[in-house]
Structure 1
């Protein structure tokens, strides 16, 4: 396609949560140039998140294998991008291989962070020499001049159609008007970020005791099916109110179901940040990661973190072997954060 209109290309991060937190960058780009179409080049696993953003004109799915250089394939793909008439590109991953694509495509203005010493490949270079900052501000800063002072960023915004929400509700066997709480018991990063299944099960029991007609849906990737099954086993008599949809929904369907949810309880994961960007009430559970680095930004949000001396360790598995940052986070504590949200919704 060879459009007369100059277009903008955004190259997506590889993680769902990071893609959500990059959305305010698009808000700023669209505010600056309302008539300029924005395309996003994204891995297939992340593409549904970008399709839920109003500012995106078209999502292009990357054909590359994760972690592979595939220089010939990147050169061939860059030739296709050259025909689309991009005036600028924003390279959100910090790797060299993603910065190669807009350079090979001949895109004149290539914006990003220094990353893997990408001098030349990135010609509008931002430096992350400042102390660690929240991810939303980190990405949104790319819309400004590299020398500009940091500004407060808008919060991420996603959307789902009414039709998609109805279809997702049917998939969850949700009755019209029935209260829906979504659990996200998995975490792609590793086991250390997962709140124990026994605690999720105890929370389900508290929910059903307070709201007997409630529906609790568990969402996640196929890797999270086992975590969902463990929660079912731990829920005891409340099990009949739960449905394990981890691995049974596409990400598009999960986004639609989250948009219908009355509240969401999630580990620090992509689903947490999707729910927050859909402006659903969320309870965010943080153990080995920093709750100040990527907090939920919904109107109604609660962050639960014990802030132990050993946290945030940012490790995939507990290096001390006790996992206290999640084990000692009781279901009562999470229920005390969740209960007012449901009362407010009612």
Structure 2
């Protein structure tokens, strides 16, 4: 079996896609799995032993460019794929497998894809409630029992990578390292307040912990606020690392506190103690997939609203994003422990 998986565009989803790769290897131990994926994800896919090859998707998320998709599809014909599994639900994501003439093209029904896909699955959202289950189900026969069993994503530690980041950033490790991930790509309704992160950081610094801040360049404002409130005592890695370096740095940590984000899923795949904070999104849909993880949510009547910005109260109102502000730093500190 030669299988092409059209991968997702987000870090967390790509981590969860590993459970599909594991399931395919269990069903077809000798299969070759190739993943069509954004260039940023290549270092992540390299750490998944189930993936034989990563193929760079030359278009950005949301970009159409029909001629490029035709070209990539024709280039894939020489691989002789037996099946394509299309994880995104968009119409355009199914074009490359179609132009590659892959005989079995599997994906969920949506956006008039019945011409492009010939193994169209109907998604029963009541039976398959989790993102990871929905991914895994596409790799199983349509009549397989639902919800499907899934293995937890697992990224092995890379000792060489750890040594490189220690040397590059001049780190002196202590027994306790706490990583804080204050960002979330989706929007403000998923971001726990920066001053709450700062209170957690200050408490652990006083106990002798190192506290590292991690995220993308978009999270710089949060990092500045946290460090300002902690007298610059946190090590700020935000916007200063590649994805590979971020993974290696997190692999050196003891505990990771994160919003519902890609870094949260990476931390879980590294089998770290993870405390995941949920506001506008339900933890049941895409929880951190490791036994050491704990999710925190208030389950307010208005949540999960799944909105990027609080739809009920404007910024400045005392109840704005109460689903997040109601989760106190003291509660998170209690979960971290000593």
Measured against the shorter chain, the TM-score band is: over 0.9
- The equivalent position to 1:144 in structure 2, one of 117, 140, 143, is 140
Partner of 1:311: helix, strand, or coil?
coil
Task: Give the C-alpha shift of residue 299 in structure 1.
Answer: 2.2
- The equivalent position to 2:107 in structure 1, one of 109, 112, 123, is 112
Partner of 2:280: 288
How many residue pairs match? The answer is 330
Partner of 1:330: 328
- The equivalent position to 2:251 in structure 1, one of 235, 246, 259, is 259
Task: Give the C-alpha shift of residue 177 in structure 1.
Answer: 4.5
- The equivalent position to 2:67 in structure 1, one of 58, 65, 72, is 72
Partner of 2:123: 128
Q: Identify which range, 129-138 or 198-207, moves more after superposition.
A: 129-138
Partner of 1:117: helix, strand, or coil?
coil
Instruction: Give the TM-score of the pair, scaled to structure 2.
Output: 0.93
Partner of 2:251: helix, strand, or coil?
helix
Deviations, residues 129-174 of structure 1 (Å, cap 9, x unaligned): 3326011111111111112221221111222311112222334443
Partner of 1:83: helix, strand, or coil?
helix
Partner of 1:248: helix, strand, or coil?
coil
Deviations, residues 40-77 of structure 1 (Å, cap 9, x unaligned): 11112333332221111121111113212211111111
Residues 133 and 117 from structure 1, CA distance in 2 versus in 1: closer, same or farther, beyond 3 angstroms?
A: same
User: RMSD of aligned C-alpha atoms?
Assistant: 1.5
> Would you say the 8 A contact 2:3–2:33 is kept in 1?
yes
Q: Identify which range, 98-107 or 117-126, moves more after superposition.
A: 117-126
Partner of 1:143: helix, strand, or coil?
coil
Aligned pairs for 1:158-237 within 5 A: 158-210=155-207, 212=208, 214-236=209-231
2:269 paired with 1:277: yes
Task: Give the C-alpha shift of residue 282 in structure 1.
Answer: 0.2
> Would you say the 8 A contact 1:291–1:305 is kept in 2?
yes
> Would you say the 8 A contact 1:182–1:219 is kept in 2?
yes
Q: Identify which range, 130-139 or 330-339, moves more after superposition.
A: 130-139
Task: Give the C-alpha shift of residue 297 in structure 1.
Answer: 2.1
Task: Give the C-alpha shift of residue 91 in structure 1.
Answer: 0.5
1:139 and 1:56 map into 2 onto residues whose CA distance is 15
Partner of 1:3: none
Unpaired stretches in structure 1, ≥5 consecutive residues: 1-5
2:13 paired with 1:25: no
Partner of 2:150: 153
Residues 130 and 328 from structure 1, CA distance in 2 versus in 1: closer, same or farther, beyond 3 angstroms?
A: closer
2:237 and 2:22 map into 1 onto residues whose CA distance is 32
Partner of 1:138: helix, strand, or coil?
helix
Task: Give the C-alpha shift of residue 178 in structure 1.
Answer: 4.0
1:94 and 1:106 map into 2 onto residues whose CA distance is 19
> Would you say the 8 A contact 2:38–2:60 is kept in 1?
no
Task: Give the C-alpha shift of residue 104 in structure 1.
Answer: 0.3
Partner of 1:147: helix, strand, or coil?
coil
Partner of 2:307: helix, strand, or coil?
coil
1:51 and 1:115 map into 2 onto residues whose CA distance is 31
Unpaired stretches in structure 2, ≥5 consecutive residues: 314-319
Partner of 1:9: helix, strand, or coil?
strand
Deviations, residues 9-36 of structure 1 (Å, cap 9, x unaligned): 1111111111111211100111122222
2:133 and 2:16 map into 1 onto residues whose CA distance is 9
1:289 and 1:66 map into 2 onto residues whose CA distance is 22
